[in-house]
Amino acid sequence: MGLAAASSIGLGMPNLPVARVVGHPGVQSKDMLERNVLEVTLEQVIDNLLKAPQAAGAGDEPGARDVIVKGGFQEINDYFYDNGLSDGLPIVPPTREKVEQFLRFTDRDPGESLGALLPDSRAATIWSIAVNGVMAGCRPEYMPVLVALIEAMADPAYGVEHSGNTPGGETLIIVNGPVIQQLGFNYTQGAMRDGFRPNTAIGRFWRLYLRNVAGFLPHQNDKATFGNTWRVVVAENEDVLKQIGWEPNSADFGFAAEDSTVTIARYTGGNHISSVSGATPEAMMPYLTDAMIRQYSWQLMFTVGQGMGTLRPLMLLSPIIAETIAGWGWSRRDLKRHLFEHARIPAREFERILRDWTQKPTWNLAEEARAGRIPKVFHASDDPGRRVPLVWKPEDYMLAVTGDLTRNSVYVFAHNGVLGYPVAKRIR
């Protein structure tokens, strides 16, 4: 009921009457569910229809530049934590002086809004970006990166409103371009480990902004069953990319190699694959295709079903893997094509996952293909054992080269589909 109330506020209907559904429908027998609906839910629905809803109260909050608390470091941190404004770790107090230091690194007006962020429909202003950047422990010169990130967060294609959905998916930020060297991002050993200020602080900023501006709060409208915490920013190893002649991740979004960019997408989890062996791409690829297949189950609903064709799997390759594959003349496009053609599962298994894992009616891939709703590659024949791809086309795979220069490993992320779709923005 608390989640329903918080969600109705996000939808702009703070006085929306709600009725209680007892328990979870997915773990009740048909008889039990019917009894609960008739004896509890129906009565409350009728009651809600027969009386006027309560008047919505005005939501009071401080002005954008109001000083909300004064005191020492401990007092400031206690206040922020007690009022749901921090992630539980100490924050850097966002004094006016520190905020203005950040604003010197952008020519945007402090009051400019990059959009209204759901669920709270609060304006994503340049000022609030600086405030949360200070709090996260960022340096002032990170400000252009932070602005680009919130431009991406506000892009409707990304779907920030789904940031609190049940699987608890968390956004990964990938950085490309000259900004990697300029700001000192780590892109070698421990590329996803904290301990490097730009990677760590900017990753933390993302989650703080979701909390403090978008309005996602645990036990309120963040419905993550288990959840993840913020992820450290991943920077591609563009030195290696230049050596092997591969384009950066940002090229997939139409950017030039000299552009500094951020890419965001939400992932429900990931898996590290150690010791990928083989002297040729053909010898290595079974490791990569098997790793990709094993990471996906219910997320296939973003291939066929909810989000039709919006699954975007991500694979991080350690430099030595990329160098070996490229050494045999393979391009990034060749690698994506191989993943598309070989990371496949039997059609009957695909349909079983859609039926059993997502509790939806059985999806018949043949019928969907004949109706033109999915590509014909999903119905090459009537053989239920035919192998079908995880995505609609090779370009749907995302690749990034980063990590320890001497280890032969890959990391596969399970994508959250349309509920966190990849978006890239240029850092100005």
Amino acid 362: pLDDT? 65
Decide which of 18 and 140 is more confident: 140
Which of the four pLDDT bands, split at 50, 70 and 90, describes residue 13? confident
Q: What band does 62 get if pLDDT is binned at 50, 70 and 90?
A: confident
DSSP string for 280-344 = SHHHHHHHHHHHHHHT-SGGGGGTSSTTTT----EEEE-HHHHHHHHHTT--HHHHHHHHHHHSE
> Amino acid letter at 418?
V
User: Residue 169: which of 214, 208, 123, 207 has the closest Cα?
Assistant: 207
Mean pLDDT of 108-119: 96
Question: Contact, 54 vs 15, CB < 8 A?
Answer: yes
For the stretch 104-113, pLDDT in tens is 999 999 999 9
Selected residue with higher pLDDT from 199 and 120: 199
pLDDT for the residue 56:
67
State what percent of residues in the chain have pLDDT above 70. Answer: 98
HSE-CB for 47 with a 13 A CA cutoff: 10
pLDDT at position 55? 76
Three-class SS state of 168: coil
The pLDDT, as a whole number, for residue 343 is 98
Tell me the domain boundaries of the chain: 2-43
Distances (CA, A) of 170 to 163, 210, 220, 231: 8, 11, 17, 7
Question: In sequence order, what are the beta bridge partners of 412?
Answer: 271, 315
pLDDT of the residue at 98: 98
Residues 377, 384: Cα–Cα separation, whole Å: 13
Q: What is the pLDDT of residue 427?
A: 98
The whole-model pTM stands at 0.93
Residue 369: pLDDT band with limits 50, 70, 90: very high
Amino acid 64: pLDDT: 84
Provide the pLDDT for residue 57.
Answer: 64
pLDDT computed for residue 58 by the predictor: 59
Cβ partners under 8 Å of residue 167, min gap 6: 224, 225, 268, 416
Q: Any idea what the Cα angle at residue 240 is, between residues 237 and 245, rounded to 5°?
A: 120
Joined together, the tokens standing for residue 208 give 């703080």
Q: Distance (Å, rounded) from C-alpha 17 to C-alpha 214? A: 24
The whole-chain average pLDDT of the chain stands at 94
Per-residue pLDDT tens for 307-364? Answer: 899 999 999 999 999 999 999 999 999 999 999 999 999 999 999 999 888 777 768 9
What are the tens digits of pLDDT across the range 249-291? 999 999 999 999 999 999 999 999 999 999 999 999 999 999 9
The answer to whether residue 114 scores a pLDDT higher than 90 is yes
Average pLDDT on 387-393 reads: 98
